[in-house]
A and B are shown apart, each in its own frame.
Chain A
Amino acid sequence: MVALSGGVDSSVAAALLVEAGHDVTGVTMKLWGGDSDTGCCSVSDVDDARRVAQQLDIAFHVFNFGDGFATHVVDPYVRAHADGITPNPCIECNRHLKFDALLHRAEALGFEMVATGHHARIVTGADGVARLARGADRAKDQSYVLHMLDQSQLDRVVLPLGHLTKTEVRAHAARLGLRTAAKPDSQDVCFITSTGGRTAFLGDRIPLRPGRVVDTDGADLGTVPAVELVTIGQRRGLAPGRDGTARYALDVDVDAAVVTVGPANQLEDTTIELHRVVWGHEPVLGDVLVQCSAHGDPLAAVLEFPAVPDLPEVPDSAPGTRADGGRDGIRELTVRLAAPLRRVAPGQSVVFYDGDQVLGGGIVRPSPR
């Protein structure tokens, strides 16, 4: 089974598997019934996926995972913003939909493997352990958003594009005459339109309240229209200080509707507290590389047991699913960075690497209040 989004990557993934002689079926996941520019959900993307399947002469099905997407991705995304937390919905979609619900569906329907068009590789070592690794095209590498895959998932997933650059993928698409060859890459969150943006989406679902902007001494500096939309580290919308230096959100207290701002150097920190940690194979402590955003640089760090073990838990988006991370115990970690880094917003994911290989990852905890 190949998950076809209607984009060029999954089209080429399917085409390469067909060329290699596999018995391939295309599946598009219907995730979102609301407005959408692109992504996996719009009718035009389903049309593109269907036309690619027709061109490749493979069976094609559309499966509705709308309920699961609402439960595991959209609702937690909205709730988290109401709590001043900034989640990564693509990671939650991979965690709960593409590599859980779809994988489960594929197994029930008798498929041996599920392929996607992600840019990452799965390598199996001499020890027989499968590990996720960065894709050949560093600029397009998506191992960060796939870090939650465990052994049982890695054993059933195929990533045919992992050894290709994006240029090579487009060349394959052109060679095969795929209608998606020149289609632009999808960007941003698939259920949020470029016209309304995050403000309109969240404003329809939760009350957005104005917030006070203060400096670290508590002096009033102004207001923001919606405290729920401010992310730690954000500069946009926060006027520069009197001396003209840029000001960044250092802290967002949604309950009190207060955003604390300061200069960039006050945003820097050398520790990150994580929870909901998951591992590809087994827990690792000590020296690793960490990546703190989808296209961030790998940074040297040390993983330790948390200094403060009883930080508040963010409500888990899905109790009882793989998000419990509990295979081998370590669900909470402190990341000690070798060099200071601008603070990573609560709700974002930090992924651990050994060289190019993913070890695991976790979610940044909100600060204790």
Chain B
Amino acid sequence: MEAYLDHAASTTPRSEAVEAMLPFLRDCYANPSGAHAMARTARKAIDESREIVAEALGARPGDVVFTSGGTEADNLAVFGVLDRDVPGDAPAVAVSSAVEHHAVLEPVVARDGRLVGVDDRGVIDLDALEAALGPDIALVSVMAVNNEVGTIQPMAEVAELVRRVAPGAVLHTDAVQAVPWLDLRPIGSAVDLLSISAHKFGGPKGVGALVARDHLSLVAQVVGGGQERDLRSGTQNVAGIVGLGAALQATTDDRHEAVHRVTKLRDRLLDGLRASVPDLVETGVRSSAASAGPDRSHRVPGIAHVCIPGVDSESLLFLLEKAGVFASAASSCASGAMEPSHVLAAMGVPRHVAGGSLRLSLGHTSTDADIDAVLAAVPPAVERLRAFS
């Protein structure tokens, strides 16, 4: 039996989502834009899913634009704002944190945007953000939760700062990794644009959503038949959208319990690893003054990230897989090889330490047995690799 600790890459499908999707894969196959009864059934399912998303994210149903996933939602947010006509000839500029997912980072960098640094915990430097906000800034994009190390960004403070210093700027957050762990209603109410991806919370791959306040003008990046408020043309992925809605409902319903349970698993995992691999670094976690224990309050429970000096990630993952533990180092390129992490570099983790990075991510189906498997597999793997280094 494998221990799956890669939920941040993709988590176990929710049975509610799978069940809800099946009728739309088999029987109700009509185009939701059609005029007949089967089309209306599909349309109704999309509308219901749209309401679930709006409710969970502090938005109105009319704000929700379904996309092909988190990357498309992020691209639409950044390019959709930067492509707007602006008076005068000053180019619209975007600013984002240096630790964004590549789906935000690449568009921002492609348009000569500015990147704002983070501290050793991965938390955005608000002073630097303030300094980067000028009258030319059209878009600010700060992720709600980092996908590699799990750091929660102070979105309320970011929103307050942006409204005060750059009231004309549009505020976007990539909330792809936040959905299972945070109540997104306050964040959704505070920002203009918010991206989610279904397979990160038990829905299917290939579907996501951008919440876009309906007063915002965005420039569509996929044009055609005018679906999704003219912001995302193309026949809707009905089954996917239904699965997204069902998974989001199930996730929201038991979030409180899941956060409590997974936090305990995460703490047992990290405390156990620290005890058995003494020089292991719990990435970006400081000791709390009160207890002298690690302060994980800025982390979501689902992501445990460590760096093991003297070990390389690829070899460690190989040996963990042999021991039945599925994990990741963080990011991968198209060829499947590991690339140095821009997130760890931005946090000031030295390259030789970052080379031993290991992301163990938990989800709604994680169990104590998974933690036992990791705690049994990591120490001998580390010992072996150090003996050969």
Which A residues lie at the B interface, using CB under 8 A?
Answer: 28, 30, 43, 46, 50, 61-64, 66, 104-105, 107-110
A64 CB contact (under 8 Å) in B319, B322, B337: B337
Contacts of A104 in B (CB 8 A): 388
**What string of 1s and 0s marks CB contacts (under 8 Å) between B187-222 and chain A?**
000000000000000000000000000000000000
Measured CA separation A50–B335 after assembly (Å)? 10
Measured CA separation A43–B334 after assembly (Å)? 7
B297 an interface residue at 8 Å Cβ cutoff? no
Assess whether A63 is in contact with B314, with CB atoms less than 8 Å apart. Answer: yes
Which of B315, B335, B384 has most A Cβ within 10 Å? B335
Q: What distance in Å separates the Cβ of B316 from its nearest Cβ neighbour in chain A?
A: 10
Q: Contacts A105-B315, A109-B319 hold; do A63 and B337 have CB atoms under 8 A apart?
A: yes
**What string of 1s and 0s marks CB contacts (under 8 Å) between B374-388 and chain A?**
000000000011001
Q: Contacts A109-B315, A109-B318 hold; do A46 and B388 have CB atoms under 8 A apart?
A: no
Contacts of B385 in A (CB 8 A): 108
Contacts of A28 in B (CB 8 A): 335
B318 CB contact (under 8 Å) in A30, A43, A50, A61: A61
Using CB atoms, name the residue of chain B closest to A109: B318
B339 an interface residue at 8 Å Cβ cutoff? yes
Measured CA separation A50–B389 after assembly (Å)? 28
Measured CA separation A104–B335 after assembly (Å)? 22
Contacts of A110 in B (CB 8 A): 319, 322, 384
Using CB atoms, name the residue of chain A closest to B351: A67
Q: Contacts A61-B318, A63-B314, A64-B314 hold; do A108 and B337 have CB atoms under 8 A apart?
A: no
B350 an interface residue at 8 Å Cβ cutoff? no
Q: Contacts A109-B315, A109-B319 hold; do A62 and B335 have CB atoms under 8 A apart?
A: yes
**What string of 1s and 0s marks CB contacts (under 8 Å) between B327-371 and chain A?**
000000011111100000000000000000000000000000000
10 closest A-B pairs (Cβ-Cβ)?
A30-B337, A108-B388, A64-B337, A62-B336, A46-B335, A62-B337, A64-B338, A43-B334, A63-B314, A43-B335
Assess whether B384 is in contact with A108, with CB atoms less than 8 Å apart. Answer: yes
Measured CA separation A28–B338 after assembly (Å)? 12
Q: What distance in Å separates the Cβ of B33 from its nearest Cβ neighbour in chain A?
A: 36
Contacts of B318 in A (CB 8 A): 61, 109
Contacts of B384 in A (CB 8 A): 108, 110
Contacts of A61 in B (CB 8 A): 314, 318, 336
Contacts of B389 in A (CB 8 A): 108
Which of A28, A30, A43 has most B Cβ within 10 Å? A30
Contacts of B322 in A (CB 8 A): 110
Can you list 30 A-B pairs with a CB-CB distance of less than 8 A? A28-B335, A30-B335, A30-B336, A30-B337, A43-B334, A43-B335, A46-B335, A46-B336, A50-B336, A61-B314, A61-B318, A61-B336, A62-B335, A62-B337, A63-B337, A64-B314, A64-B337, A64-B338, A64-B339, A66-B337, A105-B315, A107-B388, A108-B315, A108-B384, A108-B385, A108-B388, A108-B389, A109-B315, A109-B318, A110-B322
Contacts of B319 in A (CB 8 A): 109-110
Q: What distance in Å separates the Cβ of A9 from its nearest Cβ neighbour in chain B?
A: 20
Measured CA separation A63–B312 after assembly (Å)? 10
Measured CA separation A248–B301 after assembly (Å)? 70
Using CB atoms, name the residue of chain B closest to A30: B337
Q: What distance in Å separates the Cβ of A152 from its nearest Cβ neighbour in chain B?
A: 14
Measured CA separation A43–B332 after assembly (Å)? 13
Using CB atoms, name the residue of chain A closest to B317: A61
Measured CA separation A368–B385 after assembly (Å)? 45
Measured CA separation A110–B315 after assembly (Å)? 11
Measured CA separation A46–B332 after assembly (Å)? 14
